[in-house]
Amino acid sequence: MALVAETLRQGVRMLVGVVRYVADASGTGCEFAVAVDDDWQGSGLAGVLMNVLIGVARSRGFRTMHGLVLRANDKMLKLSRQLGFRHESDPQDHETVRVVREL
């Protein structure tokens, strides 16, 4: 599942944000990813898109959502906390944080 946000720039549609999830091997959880154009970071767009994605995943029967976030990505770690994700250290990779949320 992918959700996108577009805007018009000089009459041309431009993609400014995308969130997506993919079912994990268990079939009960899904892994998410989010990307927002530099010009739109800090606008709240990522939070809006993620809230919709969480709702879609829940409605499709997923019980958990998870993702990997670079430890240095303070903005995404803050957003994930605001969205109710718990943070877990990845013992195999000290540069990333696993974020998990019950749906």
pLDDT category of residue 24 using cuts at 50, 70 and 90? very high
The per-residue pLDDT for range 36-58, each reduced to its tens digit, is 999 999 999 999 999 999 999 99
Phi, psi of 79 (to 5 degrees): -60, -45
pLDDT category of residue 91 using cuts at 50, 70 and 90? confident
* Predicted TM-score of the model (pTM): 0.91
Query: What pLDDT is stored for residue 69 in this prediction?
Result: 95
Query: What pLDDT is stored for residue 90 in this prediction?
Result: 79
Residue with tokens 């990779």: 93
Residue 35: which CATH number?
3.40.630.30
Is-contact 47 83, C-beta < 8 A? Answer: yes
Containing structural domain, residue 96 = 2-102
How high does pLDDT run on average in the chain? 95
Alpha helices in 10-98, H assignment, sequence order: 45-59, 74-82
What's the total number of domains in the chain? 1
Task: Compute the C-alpha angle 35/38/41, nearest 5°.
Answer: 75
Mean pLDDT of 19-30: 96
